[in-house]
Chain A
Amino acid sequence: MKLYLALILLLPLLGGTLNALVGRKLPRRLCEALACAAVWGAFVCAALAFAAYEAPETVLLATWLADFDFTAPIALYLDPLSLVMTVMITFVCGLIHLYAVGYMAGEGSPARFFALLNLFVFAMLVLILAENLPLLYLGWEGVGFCSYALIGFWYSDPKNATAGRKAFITTRIGDTAFGIGIVWCFQLFQTESISQINQMGFLMPVGVVTALGLLFLAGAMGKSAQVPLMVWLPDAMAGPTPVSALIHAATMVTAGVYLMARMSPLFSAAPVVMAAVAITGAVTAFYGATCALVQRDFKRVLAYSTISQIGYMMLGVGAGAVTAATFHLLVHAFFKALLFLGAGCVIAALHHEQDLFRMGGLRRKMPVTFWAFMAGAACLAGLPPTGGFFSKDAILAAVWAKGGALYGGLFGLGLMAALLTSFYTFRMVYLVFGGEGATEVHRNPRIMDLMLLPLAILGLIGGFIHLPAFLADGWLGRFLATTLTEGAAHLSHGEEMAVEAIAALVALTGLAIAHYRYGGIRRAARIEAAAAEPRGITAFLLNGWYADHLYRALFIRPYEAIASFLWRRVDEGVIDVSLDRLADGIGTAGQGLGRWSCGRVSVYLLSFAAGLALVLGWLAWGRI
């Protein structure tokens, strides 16, 4: 097991390092082969570890930080949660790597790209497998750095570089809170081991756990693009599409959900934290869904939908249904990767056209992409019996089971968001694939279409790993039961069926509305209407509720004002000027004193006598 775990981590690290160091000298094919082989090798190891798995295990690989009482070794913890995540990450990332070979075929600097991709995978795996919080933080920051470098991969365009920086800085705000939480954990528990902290939660007063939970939640908000730190994710679409898929599907944005799920035994004792997580999740789910309704950019629709879906996962964690949240996380990884890769195929085929309203008619021209994308869309919309349906409704059922006014309201918000999700998903499908439109379609490398198929199959049948209780015993639930404390209340079969039926009805309603507004000839009318300048509610949603403008006014403007004041007035006006004056004064004094050395012996003698008189006077005065 130790060998498998070490290889899972070391292979992507080795691939990334080799590509970074000597990749520029290697032929392109070798770079690509190296990167893909590293990730698929890690997948093989993960599968072997999965087969050999018996009980939760801690594996010590090396010592790392150790000082007095503080120890944070490079120790990995393999339990069902990290195991399923590892298998999912290595598999999805492997597919995305292969896809990237096709997608990036015409782009420059492959060594940099593939080195960063491999490092990204390595950081994700560290984050997932870490046994203590500092190591988890290392992976956490690693994915932050890699996403920054990859979002700004085409850095020659300032817009892309800015998007990368925005992602970096926004997530850093949350990371600061998370870092404080980690340090505080050590002060409270005298250990950084996650499993030990989880067991010792009951020793602390509820207030302390609540404060700790809110700090961790802030970290999760930043990384998972939850309200109010969600502004970076739509802009992160500036990166190449495989990168977007990697960020959204594997463990970059879902890291926050994973963290909250990992620490849920600790936080389930604090109802305030759980409520805060649930509210954040539900509000974000609704926010993302509303913004996705009107976006014109293909990838921005998907970005907002990710924000919304991660909101669902947070809602699940907040309702205590960690299994349901993990279930949704896994299925979402498959279908969101599928949607992004499908979008990448469309975008590449249309010569990097990303405007939904300039697409169309691709149903017949790109049949493979169309059917794969349809599968992903059905999952995202939650049409029964796809994976997305079961996972989303497991969360909704858990929220409903929780009962009470708060969770009842959140359930309503979740249902609203589900309706919107279904609508915007099929709006996208109708706009891209329906009607007539693009005439000239560029042929993609075959490998890009091929990668869609396994993802489509997994997305469609993913629901069967955790069927609702009235159909069968959920495998994932049983598998995770050893490690996760399930805080969710249980519904009777009848109630659960009712919730599922409502959710299915909502999804179908969304599909029907989308068909009514965008189906057939009405599509052309919508495209004409969209040519006008967006106004009112459309503009509001298009700009993401003006969150960027709000932050600009609230934080960036005052910061700029203070910075400019400190620069112009304090730095240049006070410090620089005073130093200049001082230097001028000393220079003038030096020139004045220099005139003294005129070479006239009499002046020297007189000064000498005066100095003597002064010294004598001082001595005499001192005596008195």
Chain B
Amino acid sequence: MIVPFEHVLILAGLLFALGLVCVLVWRMNLIMLLIGIEVMLNAAMLAFVGGAARWGMADGQVFSLIIMALTSAEVSLALAMVVYLHRRKKTVDADEFRELQG
């Protein structure tokens, strides 16, 4: 393996942190929120693939394929929901949707 495993993990961690910051900071925007989640998922996939290469086992790669399938399904559903929510309140600010309050 050319790139050391530590570097892969550091990159994945950085990506994850960026995604998390995106989720937490651009909270008024549902679309930015979804993008942040995608970035975090990509970070996780990177860690999986790196791990698979490190130990020479296919499990991590299989898992990242599953995540890809899952995220594509999720994004199609989530974008449909964003469109629907925008129709209801004329905004994509996440804090405006608090009907789920206990």
How long is the Cα–Cα vector from A606 to B20 in the complex, in angstroms? Answer: 10
A interface, size bucket: 10 to 19
How long is the Cα–Cα vector from A353 to B33 in the complex, in angstroms? Answer: 99
Structural contact, B27 and A602, CB atoms closer than 8 A: yes
How long is the Cα–Cα vector from A602 to B27 in the complex, in angstroms? Answer: 6
Structural contact, B98 and A600, CB atoms closer than 8 A: yes
Instruction: Decide yes or no whether B76 CB sits under 8 A from chain A.
Output: no
* B95: chain A residues within 8 A (beta carbon): 600-602
Known contacts A601-B27, A602-B27: A609-B20 contact under CB 8 Å: yes
Structural contact, B101 and A599, CB atoms closer than 8 A: yes
How long is the Cα–Cα vector from A597 to B20 in the complex, in angstroms? Answer: 21
- Chain B residue with the shortest CB-CB distance to A600: B95
* A605: chain B residues within 8 A (beta carbon): 23-24, 27, 33
Instruction: Decide yes or no whether B99 CB sits under 8 A from chain A.
Output: yes
Q: Mark A592-610, 1 if CB is under 8 A from B, else 0.
A: 0010011111100110010
**Smallest CB separation, A591 vs chain B (Å):** 12
Q: Mark A571-595, 1 if CB is under 8 A from B, else 0.
A: 0000000000000000000000010
- Chain B residue with the shortest CB-CB distance to A613: B20
**Smallest CB separation, A589 vs chain B (Å):** 15
Q: Mark B37-76, 1 if CB is under 8 A from A, else 0.
A: 0000000000000000000000000000000000000000
How long is the Cα–Cα vector from A197 to B23 in the complex, in angstroms? Answer: 91
- Chain B residue with the shortest CB-CB distance to A596: B102
Q: Choose one: A597, A601, A602, A606; the contact of B102 (CB below 8 Å).
A: A597
**Smallest CB separation, B19 vs chain A (Å):** 11
How long is the Cα–Cα vector from A606 to B36 in the complex, in angstroms? Answer: 14
How long is the Cα–Cα vector from A600 to B95 in the complex, in angstroms? Answer: 5
How long is the Cα–Cα vector from A48 to B95 in the complex, in angstroms? Answer: 102
* A594: chain B residues within 8 A (beta carbon): 102
How long is the Cα–Cα vector from A597 to B101 in the complex, in angstroms? Answer: 6
Structural contact, A598 and B24, CB atoms closer than 8 A: no
* A597: chain B residues within 8 A (beta carbon): 101-102
B interface, size bucket: 10 to 19
Structural contact, B24 and A599, CB atoms closer than 8 A: no
- Chain A residue with the shortest CB-CB distance to B27: A602
Q: Mark A373-411, 1 if CB is under 8 A from B, else 0.
A: 000000000000000000000000000000000000000
Structural contact, A609 and B24, CB atoms closer than 8 A: yes
* B2: chain A residues within 8 A (beta carbon): none
Structural contact, A601 and B24, CB atoms closer than 8 A: no
**Smallest CB separation, B71 vs chain A (Å):** 18
- Chain A residue with the shortest CB-CB distance to B21: A609
Q: Mark A291-318, 1 if CB is under 8 A from B, else 0.
A: 0000000000000000000000000000
How long is the Cα–Cα vector from A597 to B97 in the complex, in angstroms? Answer: 13
Instruction: Decide yes or no whether B78 CB sits under 8 A from chain A.
Output: no
**Smallest CB separation, A325 vs chain B (Å):** 84
How long is the Cα–Cα vector from A598 to B23 in the complex, in angstroms? Answer: 18
* B101: chain A residues within 8 A (beta carbon): 597-599
* B100: chain A residues within 8 A (beta carbon): 599
Instruction: Decide yes or no whether B94 CB sits under 8 A from chain A.
Output: yes
- Chain A residue with the shortest CB-CB distance to B101: A599
How long is the Cα–Cα vector from A599 to B99 in the complex, in angstroms? Answer: 7
**Smallest CB separation, B95 vs chain A (Å):** 5
Structural contact, A602 and B98, CB atoms closer than 8 A: no
* A602: chain B residues within 8 A (beta carbon): 24, 27, 94-95
**Smallest CB separation, B68 vs chain A (Å):** 23
How long is the Cα–Cα vector from A480 to B101 in the complex, in angstroms? Answer: 94
* B97: chain A residues within 8 A (beta carbon): 599, 601
How long is the Cα–Cα vector from A609 to B102 in the complex, in angstroms? Answer: 21
How long is the Cα–Cα vector from A597 to B100 in the complex, in angstroms? Answer: 9
How long is the Cα–Cα vector from A97 to B102 in the complex, in angstroms? Answer: 76
* A600: chain B residues within 8 A (beta carbon): 94-95, 98
Q: Choose one: B20, B27, B33, B98; the contact of A599 (CB below 8 Å).
A: B98
- Chain B residue with the shortest CB-CB distance to A603: B95
**Smallest CB separation, A598 vs chain B (Å):** 6
* B98: chain A residues within 8 A (beta carbon): 598-601
Q: Mark B86-102, 1 if CB is under 8 A from A, else 0.
A: 00000000110111111
11 CB contacts below 8 A, A to B, read A597-B101, A598-B101, A599-B100, A599-B101, A600-B94, A601-B33, A602-B27, A605-B23, A605-B24, A605-B33, A606-B24
* B binding-site residues for A, Cβ under 8 Å: 20, 23-24, 27, 33, 94-95, 97-102
| Known interface pairs A599-B101, A601-B97, A605-B23; 8 further A-B residue pairs with C-beta atoms within 8 A, sorted by A's residue number | A598-B101, A599-B97, A600-B94, A601-B27, A605-B33, A606-B24, A609-B20, A609-B23
* A binding-site residues for B, Cβ under 8 Å: 594, 597-602, 605-606, 609
Give 7 closest A-B pairs by Cβ, nearest first: A599-B101, A599-B98, A597-B102, A602-B27, A601-B94, A600-B95, A599-B100
